[in-house]
Amino acid sequence: MANIDQPFLSALAGAAAAGGRYGRHSTWPGVVVSEIREAGLAVVTARKGHRGDLIAAVRSGFGVDLPATPRRVVGEEIAFVWVGPDQWLAAQHPAPKDGMEARLAPLVGLAALVDQSHGRTLLALTGPRVRDALAKGVPIDLHPRAFRPGDAASTLIAHIPVHLWQVDDRPSYEFAIARSLAQSFWQWLMAAAAEWGVQFADG
């Protein structure tokens, strides 16, 4: 079981300041970034022969059907993002007080559960030029005709593995990144979005 008493620490501590502006300073920032702190994350992997039972258990316990393609679905307080065949990333914000493994207890026996709450960080990106900035490194077509709210993808950005999904059509995105690589991603993003300006908002 994960140590749920361990405090959540910012993955960008010392690199990004709340309310800070980076790159070009104009009347409005082209990209707005915030760290979604205290998010509960867990990888859910169906056990061999139990995929159907797992889908039924998630539908019954969380009110949502697990996606079979790169999508994100939001159930009762918890979201499930397709990661790969028979594997999903479960996310809840704020994290449940007793931990993600306890939150996902109805799935024990049907899936392997790995708490990632302290292993990954979630960043939220939005702004009028966010697609332009991401296009400099994201090898995925994020045009609204190709990538819509609910769509998800796993990819590499500047050699950094990321899992991303679109939240709404503003557009807004969320990125799940290994904590050890979060500052490297932040440095890439600042460089990519510098010409339009970046604001780091308090998550």
pLDDT tens figures, 127-140? 999 999 999 999 99
pLDDT band at residue 1 under the 50/70/90 scheme: very low
pLDDT at residue 84, rounded to an integer: 94
Q: For the segment 67-104, what is each residue's pLDDT rounded down to a tens digit?
A: 999 999 998 889 999 999 999 999 999 999 889 999 99
Residue 17 in this model has a pLDDT that exceeds 90: no
Work out the mean pLDDT of the chain and round it to a whole number: 92
pLDDT band at residue 198 under the 50/70/90 scheme: very high
pLDDT band at residue 23 under the 50/70/90 scheme: confident
Residue 108 in this model has a pLDDT that exceeds 60: yes
What percent of the chain is predicted at pLDDT more than 70? 93
Candidates 90, 158, 94, 169; CA nearest to 128 is: 169
88: its two tokens = 């999903």
Q: Which runs of consecutive H residues, i.e. helices, occur in 89-150?
A: 100-103, 130-134
Q: For the segment 3-15, what is each residue's pLDDT rounded down to a tens digit?
A: 445 666 788 887 7
Mean pLDDT of 149-163: 97
pLDDT at residue 2, rounded to an integer: 45
Mean pLDDT of 33-59: 96
Non-local (6+) Cβ contacts of 98 within 8 A are 4
- In the beta sheet, which residues pair with residue 162? 155, 177
pLDDT at residue 50, rounded to an integer: 97
User: Which of 203 and 61 is assigned the larger pLDDT?
Assistant: 61
Domains of the chain as residue ranges with CATH: 21-37+119-201 (3.30.1360.120), 40-115 (3.30.70.1520)
16 with 26: CB under 8 angstroms? Answer: no
3-state secondary structure (DSSP) of residue 183: helix
Mean pLDDT of 154-163: 96
pLDDT at residue 13, rounded to an integer: 80
Q: Model's pTM, two decimal places?
A: 0.90
- In the beta sheet, which residues pair with residue 36? 122
CA 35 – CA 122 distance, rounded (Å) = 6
pLDDT at residue 128, rounded to an integer: 96
49: its two tokens = 């022969």
